[in-house]
Structure 1
Amino acid sequence: MFILLWAGLVLWGTLRACSSCYGLAWCCGELSGHVHLVMGWLGVVGNSQGMFILWAGLVLLKQNVCQLSFSLLVFFRFDFCAIDSEKRPSENLGQVLFGERIEPSPYKFEFKKKVDCKPVCTKSYNTNKPEDKAHLDFLKKGMLLNYQHHWIVDNMPVTWCYDVEDGQKFCNPGFPIGCYVTEAGRPKDACVVNSDFKDKDTFYVFNHVDITIHYHVVENEAAGARLVAAKMEPKSYKHTKVEAPDCAGGPMYLNNKFSGELKIGYTYSVQFVEDTHIRWASRWDYILESMPHTNIQWFSIMNSLVIVLFLSGMVAMIMLRTLHKDIARYNQMDSVEDAQEEFGWKLVHGDVFRPPRKGMLLSVFLGSGTQIFIMMFVTLFFACLGFLSPANRGALMTCAVVLWVLLGTPAGYVAARFYKSFGGEKWKTNVLLTCFLCPGVVFADFFVMNLILWGEGSSAAMPFGTLVAILALWFCISVPLTFIGAYFGFKKTGIEHPVRTNQIPRQIPEQSFYTRSLPGIVMGGILPFGCIFIQLFFILNSIWSHQMYYMFGFLFLVFIILVITCSEATILLCYFHLCAEVRHHTPSYSATSTSVPR
């Protein structure tokens, strides 16, 4: 179980470090007479062929002006509109760890002030110039791969809502930078939404957005209002007058074989709509309800419960039938000779508590596993209660890191207590391994991936100052707390065993195939993995797609089911190994270690 959790942490570190750059946004949740609206989050991410380029980030309070912001680095390569005069806000630790980068943008508007086809900037290109041609080629590649803009207002994603099958409405937290019609005349991706997109081998640029801000007037607050929804609709216009656009022309197209001069004017429109039906506390509902994942989540829960019931039935059968029957037969023995004729798990009762050959590593894994287990449980519990909602950018990761740092004491205590029970005497080595082995593997993996991101110039690369801060938290807080826990653990007496250990180790008979270590690990990992594979899919999909994972209620429930499943699977496998007269400690922690892929 503890190896499973540690392996999951290693997996997360690898995926996060390998993921491409992105950013997110923050802002305030109240609109007042002074227009304290913070508008945020513009960027680009690819969602095709595993290509992920960039997300973006957010807004600043600028007197009565609303601003959008976006992350730079790869974003500027698309040659979209930019601004250089604004200072970027700072991110918290969780945002930096997730690679969120925030930069200002030129989109500005005031609360409750309607904007119609306001120009942002105009980009001019000449294919005879190598630099301009490179910009156009990169833009066409982004449209071909269906790269996405992502915006956030008041820490809510600006959604593009459109009708899907069965009359349902799907709200996508992003919209493409453009689309492509193939040489055969088949529209790809977002080109299907407009019948005017019909020219063969042609790209259509979404250079205009209609933004609709829904707000709810708050009672008993002077001139106050709260943002409850933000929606947009991408459009394409070929502005004939770039200085005074009217957003009434045909689509902005770019033939794949185009050569010459081209001007792309970027514009936007904004309107504010009062909504009395949506409360601020439930403003995420319209997004979550449109997601098709809820039914799948309930199916996952039912699947996990079936597995738990199956394992519980097997454990109950063993306890009520096998053990009860064996104990009853043992109590009916008339002589010691009859008892000596017994076989199975009773023959190794004097050897199962023999100190393991690698008690040092086992105790270290138990200590580190305890630390990670408590961290995960507390983090998911608070997230389930709503304290770590997606609206609090970076709060989830910040909470996890802080908890891991502060939980060094139970890690050191558990490792020291078990190591002392195993008869170990190298307490310094035990404490140092507890402090540095598992965290060191994760950090080394993360650091190597971060070096690669640094070399590629990715904005997801962690700054050097943040690395120093993490090392300071590790060495200055976590390590001393681990030593404190180990001190109290070694002061305690060792765990007393219920039976005396035999002086001479019993020889282990030849094992059948299914009682060997490798088949046991495989069989022990299948059932717990079956409980979490659907949740694991959504989590990994969120990491790779740089999406917000918000189903913490489902995740916490599945986590509890996973703990129960791992415990019961371990009980079963340990019992089968004891019946085969295997006294080693390995099945107790390796049986379910394959539940999460490494």
Structure 2
Amino acid sequence: KHALFVNRLDSVESVLPYEYTAFDFCSEKTMKRPSENLGQVLFGERIEPSPYKFEFKKPVVCQKVCTRTYDTNNPSDKAKLDFLKKGMLLNYQHHWIVDNMPVTWCYDVEDGQKFCNPGFPIGCYVTEAGRPKDACVVNSNFNEKDAFYIFNHVDITIYYHIVEHEQLGARLVAAKIEPKSPCTGGPKFLKNKHTGVFNIPYTYSINFEDKNIRWASRWDYILESMPHTNIQWFRNMTQLFVLLLYIYVLMSLVLQEDAQEEFGWKLVHGDVFRPPRKGMLLSVFLGSGTQIFIMTFVTLFFACLGFLSPANRGALMTCAVVLWVLLGTPAGYVAARLYKSFGGEKWKTNVLLTAFLCPGVVFADFFVMNLILWGEGSSAAMPFGTLVAILALWFCISVPLTFIGAYFGFKKAGIEHPVRTNQIPRQIPEQSFYTKPFPGIVMGGILPFGCIFIQLFFILNSIWSHQMYYMFGFLFLVFIILVITCSEATILLCYFHLCAEDYHWQWRSFLTSGFTAVYFLVYAIHYFFSKLQITGLASTILYFGYTMIMALIFFLFTGTIGFFACFWFVTKIYSVVKVD
């Protein structure tokens, strides 16, 4: 017999996923639980066998699985029943798997189209006013007020394709489910204020259909029905950002005429490579940013090749974590080399901060979030053993590699600048509004954010609305455009500042493109209040806690792009053009 596997249950109204067994459903005790990779554990996936079994081409009708009995006078039973009701009230969704394919629930939506959801609800609730919530709207018989309707029966349809000239004979190409309440008779409901004994019999039916779908295309029916709402809004916003781009270029042409015939930047040649303030912190940020940049590039490249598709569960996160651990060497090297070029001598402090500052902030935030998940009993809480394994990867692999990179960075000669630095700093003249630091930094982040906000919507949907993300080709293209836009915007503003005889470009170039992360944070806050229905203090704290981690990573990533683009530009213009 073949078994369906069950994954953790989640909800768009709560950030807290729970294991299948947390809701006291029928469970399988004899089969061994499949092993999970690091990415699956980090994402809170908890796959385990279920008692729902089938034999190929042998239909089953109203097969009984088990019966759960609850006595509200028993505190333990009452707690289980209350937790089940809470799950239905928050619209928690099952996620079942067969042959590594998600079992989908397909239903009619507007314009006569069908939407296939890779999950189906536990049940639904009808309010005291008689208003059906969530899945209760699909059945007009769900009309009992202040009652929970339990989907304790499922009709499963297995679609297969006969393969000629192969020993396998047939391949599974799709699996769909229709939740019901119950198999026969009237709907099974539980009054909100029910007292006494309550029985829930769980049953299932299985049917088989031959369907001419190629093995390579068996995910298409899920991906084609993924929601692409607000595309028209996105198009209008894109046009707005194109308009802003034209205005941006126009401003550059107008300001260029006032740039003292381009002589302003030549006057500061003796100060342009003067070490910045807080050079230690800047070098550490740039080292960590380099680590994140290479990790992102390689991960997206592999995803474009199809190695990290949704079919390979947890592969994307596993790849990213392993790459980050192995890329400690370039982080240490870049931080050490730049710190040495800034004239720094505290190499021990530099390498320790590179190895522990940014990763430590991320881990501390993650650990606090994990404590909340532990307290809520969520399946997303990382087991203690996995937490120790993450720390071992960090301390035993990433940190030594960072030290090795820093060793070679400090050992190598400092970066040679094309012009000498004067001993006495040049006085910076009074700046106009557009060339002051803060307005320039704020303007610099607008265009890069305009390149990513469309993909950002789908990424946030994937993380928080539990939808599959599969547009890695588009994402890689957006990644390239983001790198180019961050570089061009930062170089343009850097040139304006140099023409205005302001030579403090190092921190400004980092913060100009890094300010894109602030727009990302604002958008994430807007997404929380406009797109999600998350309730509860714990879920809200978790959302913003994880969002802060993403914003910090994005800040280091974009800031590093801006700095190195500006560094290349400044080095180029002062080495190619002879300065009197």
Alignment TM class, shorter chain as reference? 0.7 to 0.9
Alignment of 1:280-319 (within 5 A): 280-293=215-228, 296=231, 307=241, 311=245, 314=248
Partner residue, 1:357? 277
The match for 1:157 among 85, 89, 102 is 102
Partner residue, 2:515? 594
**1:93 Cα deviation from its structure 2 partner:** 1.4
**1:175 Cα deviation from its structure 2 partner:** 1.3
Q: Secondary structure at the match of 2:31?
A: coil
Specify the code of the residue in structure 2 equivalent to 1:579: C
Distance 2:239 2:393 in 1: 39
Pair 1:457–1:264, CA change in 2 (3 A)? closer
Superposition TM-score, scaled by structure 2 size: 0.82
Q: Is the 8 A contact 1:389 1:550 kept in 2?
A: yes
Partner residue, 1:408? 328
**1:236 Cα deviation from its structure 2 partner:** 0.7
Pair 1:84–1:508, CA change in 2 (3 A)? same
Residue 504 of structure 2 is aligned to residue 559 of structure 1:
no
Distance 1:41 1:236 in 2: 20
Pair 1:52–1:560, CA change in 2 (3 A)? same
Partner residue, 1:265? 201
Q: Is the 8 A contact 2:3 2:53 kept in 1?
A: no
Q: Please, which runs of 5 or more residues in structure 2 have no aligned partner?
A: 522-550, 552-580
Partner residue, 2:125? 180
**1:546 Cα deviation from its structure 2 partner:** 4.3
**1:309 Cα deviation from its structure 2 partner:** 8.7
Distance 1:98 1:444 in 2: 18
Pair 1:184–1:476, CA change in 2 (3 A)? closer
Pair 1:428–1:134, CA change in 2 (3 A)? closer
Pair 1:302–1:553, CA change in 2 (3 A)? farther
Partner residue, 1:568? 488
Partner residue, 1:233? 178
The match for 2:6 among 10, 16, 41 is 41
Residue 56 of structure 2 is aligned to residue 111 of structure 1:
yes
Partner residue, 2:167? 222
Structure with more of its chain in helix, by fraction: 2
Q: Secondary structure at the match of 1:592?
A: helix
Specify the code of the residue in structure 1 equivalent to 2:304: C
**1:211 Cα deviation from its structure 2 partner:** 0.6
Residue 191 of structure 2 is aligned to residue 255 of structure 1:
yes
Pair 1:408–1:257, CA change in 2 (3 A)? closer
Q: Is the 8 A contact 1:41 1:150 kept in 2?
A: yes
**1:345 Cα deviation from its structure 2 partner:** 2.8
Alignment of 1:335-346 (within 5 A): 344-346=264-266
Specify the code of the residue in structure 2 equivalent to 1:517: P
Pair 1:483–1:435, CA change in 2 (3 A)? same
Q: Is the 8 A contact 2:3 2:54 kept in 1?
A: no
Alignment of 1:424-435 (within 5 A): 424-435=344-355
Residue 403 of structure 2 is aligned to residue 483 of structure 1:
yes
Q: Is the 8 A contact 2:151 2:180 kept in 1?
A: yes
**1:141 Cα deviation from its structure 2 partner:** 2.7
Q: Secondary structure at the match of 1:227?
A: strand
Distance 2:165 2:508 in 1: 63
Specify the code of the residue in structure 2 equivalent to 1:293: H
Q: Secondary structure at the match of 1:416?
A: helix
* CA deviation string 1:179-222 (max 9, x = no partner): 22233333222122122222333321111000111122233321
Specify the code of the residue in structure 1 equivalent to 2:216: A
Q: Is the 8 A contact 1:304 1:561 kept in 2?
A: no
State, as a whole percentage, how many aligned pairs show the same letter: 78
Q: Secondary structure at the match of 2:145?
A: coil
* CA deviation string 1:458-485 (max 9, x = no partner): 3322222222222222222222222332
Partner residue, 1:148? 93
Q: Please, which runs of 5 or more residues in structure 1 have no aligned partner?
A: 1-34, 56-70, 238-246, 331-341
Pair 1:145–1:381, CA change in 2 (3 A)? same
Superposition TM-score, scaled by structure 1 size: 0.80
Pair 1:83–1:564, CA change in 2 (3 A)? same
RMSD: 2.8
Alignment of 1:377-392 (within 5 A): 377-392=297-312
Distance 1:427 1:115 in 2: 70
Specify the code of the residue in structure 1 equivalent to 2:324: W
Partner residue, 2:384? 464
